[in-house]
Amino acid sequence: MAGLKPGFTIKNNGIIVLLNFLYSTSWILASVFIPLIARRYTEDFFIISAISALYNGMLFLSSAISGRLGDIYGRKLVIIIGFFLSAVLFFLHNQISSISSIFLYRGLAGIGIGMIPGSLSALAWGGSLGFFTGIGSLGFTLGNFLPGLLKKDFLIFTVSSLFCAIGFILSFFIREKRVRISVPILPYRLIIKNLDVYLPFFIRHSAAQAVWAIFPIHLVNLGADKFQIGLLYAINPFFQFLFMLYMDKFSSNFLIPLGIIASAITFLGYAISQTWQAIIPCQVLLGFAWATLYLGSLKKILANNVEQATASGILSSVIGLSGIVGPIIGGIIANLGLAVLLFSSALLSGLALTILIYLTKNQRG
């Protein structure tokens, strides 16, 4: 396979894994309570969802551009810049004082954080991808749990900035043997080649992002306080970490549909839950869903493409793009009722599975 000959030889996988932990912790930590902060200034679900859409829109553009730049000019440089910008911008979140300032700082943060995952994932190829993604999920666990402990906005955003600052320093210790890879400005052939990964992933994750944009509000309605919300958020990535350690041995063609099916069941579980405690098993299942879907998608992308930073950067862009479409759709549907939104997300996941089956059959044919 083309992806078995990556452009860089990395001798320090430990640093790459640690950087993934710092990256994952920082952006989650800075994001969890944004909907609740926004609700201090507006009751409009659409505006709250639009904040998430803007952040993910900037992440989409940043990931698409920086993934290509990583293949051309070096992944280490892109990662260094990404951590530096993110450290500055997450600290500036302490200046939030209005809806407009939330839009400003979240949009800029999307640019900084979007520079990191494509190049970082490409550097991880050759080691244990399950361990790499699992440690990232462990970072998600900490990032989701810390806000409930820190509670104060200043502490949350300052600690998030500190994680990025540590990542910035450690990035200088990455050692790489660079091989310049030619990548077109618009890699449409690469997108078409991997459409069976990108399109189902986009639809499923749009369904998820529609939920995440208002999920803390849903949990408050079920009776959860800030600590309990942080605990619920932490359950998901902790089980991602556990599942990913054991899922690396399975083929991507098995993992991807399994993740989509588990996602649909999770969203149905959210819809019928009457208390915040009932969300706990849903979060465990969500951890399984993401572990299988993301690991399977990343494995397939890295194995089948020599332009690894670009291909994985596009996957990050798909995550960002779904973060635009999902919250906008979610903000509209949520005004009809949160239960309607949750059932709709389950149906969208079913659509993603249908499209995956169709594209896979066409490729084999």
Q: Helix/strand/coil (H, E, C) string of the chain? A: CHHHCCCCCCCCHHHHHHHHHHHHHHHHHHHCCHHHHHCCCCCCHHHHHHHHHHHHHHHHHHHHHHHHHHHHHCHHHHHHHHHHHHHHHHHHHHHCCCHHHHHHHHHHHHHHHHCCHHHHHHHHECECHHHHHHHHHHHHHHHHHHHHHHCCHHHHHHHHHHHHHHHHHHHCCCCCCCCCCCCCCCCHHHHHHCHHHHHHHHHHHHHHHHHHCCHHHHHHHCCCCHHHHHHHHHHHHHHHHHHHHHHCCCCHHHHHHHHHHHHHHHHHHHHHCCCHHHHHHHHHHHHHHHHHHHHHHHHHHHHHCCCHHHHHHHHHHHHHHHHHHHHHHHHHHHCCCHHHHHHHHHHHHHHHHHHHHHHHHHHHC
In a domain, 1, yes or no: no
In a domain, 4, yes or no: no
pTM: 0.76
pLDDT digits (tens, 9 = 90+) for 167-205: 999 999 887 766 666 666 677 788 888 899 999 999 999
Q: What is the CATH number of the domain that holds 221?
A: 1.20.1250.20
Phi, psi of 32 (to 5 degrees): -55, -45
Residue 298 has what pLDDT? Answer: 87
In a domain, 3, yes or no: no
Structural domain including 321 reads 10-177+185-364
Residue 131 has what pLDDT? Answer: 82
Where the chain has pLDDT below 70, the residues are 1-12, 125-128, 177-185, 363-365
In a domain, 290, yes or no: yes
In a domain, 2, yes or no: no
pLDDT digits (tens, 9 = 90+) for 299-351: 898 888 777 777 887 887 888 788 788 888 888 888 888 889 999 999 999 99
In a domain, 5, yes or no: no
Q: Quote the number of domains for the chain.
A: 1
